[in-house]
């Protein structure tokens, strides 16, 4: 059984056709993914209001589907309304922020204000981290000690920096999906912060789960640690009943 904490629903501006809900369910079947936490790509790259509403309609289609409420820190009041509206529904279990598409650094005033708000709700935040911006997570994590921050993509090509930050900030988790699949990163992460703070994500509908599953299978870690990464930690973090 696998829990995927980083997936999307919807189209992208790339030549990818497998973005419909049938495609996603087929992929979940293929890899034995029992719970999949999605954010709306429409909400991430464009209009969070429209995208969240669209995802809300989709989540009821299959019990495996769970949702992130996407917020946009350029719209603090509307983002709070979205949190109130969707987090009251059982299917929404976390919040997603993407600094690239809002053009707000992780440690900007707007982003930090957004995290002040999210912290009140007590749910995990999936925060896109990739490249140099990864270094800014530390400031955000220290300023928001009660916010559970999942570092999406584990910093991408800056994964060593992400591991350093996770080691210094107990309220951060490392999520693995990324095209930078450099050998040894899983082992180093486990060694630095323990398997209990590492999570499996696929990045569907951008990346096929086989990519990251292959990496987790390859990693020289114990069976128990693998189990924690693929399901146990997510179950605990999101309080899932399975």
Partner 1 sequence: MTSPIIDVNTIFGFWPFREIDISAKALVEIMRVHKVLRACSLSTKGVFYDFHLGNEETWKVSQTYPKIIPVATFDFSRYLGIKDEIRQRFNQGFKLFRLLPDYQCWKIDDLRFQKVLPVFEEIGAPVIIGMQNSRLSTLSKIAEGFSFPIILEGVSFYDTGEILEVMGQHLNFYVETHWLNGPDTVEILVNHLGPRRLIFGSNSPLFYMGGAIERIKNADIIEHQKELIFGKNLMNLLGE
Residue 182 in the binding site for partner 1 (CB under 8 A): yes
Q: How far is C-alpha 154 from the chain's CA centre?
A: 10
Within a 10 A sphere around the Cβ of 92, how many other Cβ atoms? 22
Query: Count of residues binding partner 1 (CB under 8 A)?
Result: 30
Q: Among residues 44, 69, 147, 207, which is the contact residue for partner 1, using CB under 8 A? A: 207
Residue 18 C-beta: closest distance to partner 1, Å: 4
Q: Among residues 1, 16, 132, 143, which is the contact residue for partner 1, using CB under 8 A? A: 16
Q: How far is C-alpha 49 from the chain's CA centre?
A: 19
| Polymer length in residues for the chain | 242
Fill in the per-residue mask, 124 to 163: x = in contact with partner 1 (CB under 8 A), - = not in contact: ------------------------------------x---
Q: Among residues 74, 108, 181, 196, which is the contact residue for partner 1, using CB under 8 A? A: 181
| The pair of three-digit structure tokens given for residue 173, joined into one six-digit string | 């988790």
Residue 25 in the binding site for partner 1 (CB under 8 A): no
Residue 213 C-beta: closest distance to partner 1, Å: 6
Residue 176 C-beta: closest distance to partner 1, Å: 11
* Residue 131: Cβ-neighbour burial (10 angstroms; 0-12, 13-18, 19+): middle
Q: Among residues 84, 122, 170, 183, which is the contact residue for partner 1, using CB under 8 A? A: 183
The piece of 23-31, 36-44, 100-108, 167-175 that touches partner 1 (CB under 8 A) is 23-31
Calpha distance 200→82 (Å, rounded): 26
Residue 17 in the binding site for partner 1 (CB under 8 A): yes
In the complex with partner 1, the residue whose CB is nearer, 10 or 124, is 10
In the complex with partner 1, the residue whose CB is nearer, 136 or 212, is 212
Residue 212 in the binding site for partner 1 (CB under 8 A): yes
Residue 20 C-beta: closest distance to partner 1, Å: 11
In the complex with partner 1, the residue whose CB is nearer, 37 or 207, is 207
Contacts of residues 227-231 at CB distance under 8 Å and 24 or more positions apart, as own/partner, are: 228/195, 228/196, 228/198, 229/176, 229/186, 229/195, 229/198, 229/199, 229/200, 230/1, 230/2, 230/3, 230/200, 231/1, 231/2, 231/3, 231/34, 231/200
Calpha distance 200→189 (Å, rounded): 13
Residue 205 in the binding site for partner 1 (CB under 8 A): yes
| The pair of three-digit structure tokens given for residue 54, joined into one six-digit string | 């669209």
First to last CA, the chain: 10
Sheet holding 33-40, edge to edge: 2-9, 33-40, 65-70, 92-97, 125-130, 149-155, 172-175, 198-199
Applying CB under 8 A, the residues found at the interface with partner 1 are 14-19, 23, 27, 30-31, 160, 179, 181-184, 204-208, 210-215, 217-219
């Amino acid at each position: 059984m696998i829990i995927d904490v980083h997936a999307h629903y919807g189209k992208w501006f790339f030549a990818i056709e497998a973005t419909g809900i049938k495609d996603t369910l087929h992929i979940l079947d293929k890899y034995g993914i029992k719970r999949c936490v999605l954010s709306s790509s429409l909400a991430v790259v464009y209009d969070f209001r429209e995208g969240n509403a669209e995802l809300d309609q989709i989540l009821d289609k299959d019990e495996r589907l769970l949702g992130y409420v996407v917020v946009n820190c350029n719209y603090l009041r509307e983002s709070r309304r979205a949190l109130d509206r969707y987090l009251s529904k059982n299917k929404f279990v976390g919040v997603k922020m993407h600094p690239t598409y809002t053009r707000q650094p992780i440690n900007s005033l707007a982003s930090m204000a957004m995290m002040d708000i999210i912290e009140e709700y007590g749910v995990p935040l999936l925060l896109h981290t990739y490249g140099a911006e990864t270094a800014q997570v530390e400031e955000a994590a220290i300023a928001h000690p009660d916010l559970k921050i999942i570092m999406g993509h584990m910093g991408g090509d800056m994964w060593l920096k992400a591991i350093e930050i996770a080691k210094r900030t107990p309220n951060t988790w490392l999520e693995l999906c990324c095209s930078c699949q450099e050998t040894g990163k899983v082992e180093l992460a486990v060694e630095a912060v323990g398997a209990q703070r590492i999570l499996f994500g696929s990045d569907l509908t951008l990346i096929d789960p086989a990519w990251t599953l292959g990496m987790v299978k390859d990693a020289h870690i114990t069976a128990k640690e693998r189990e924690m990464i693929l399901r146990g930690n997510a179950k605990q973090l999101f309080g899932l009943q399975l």
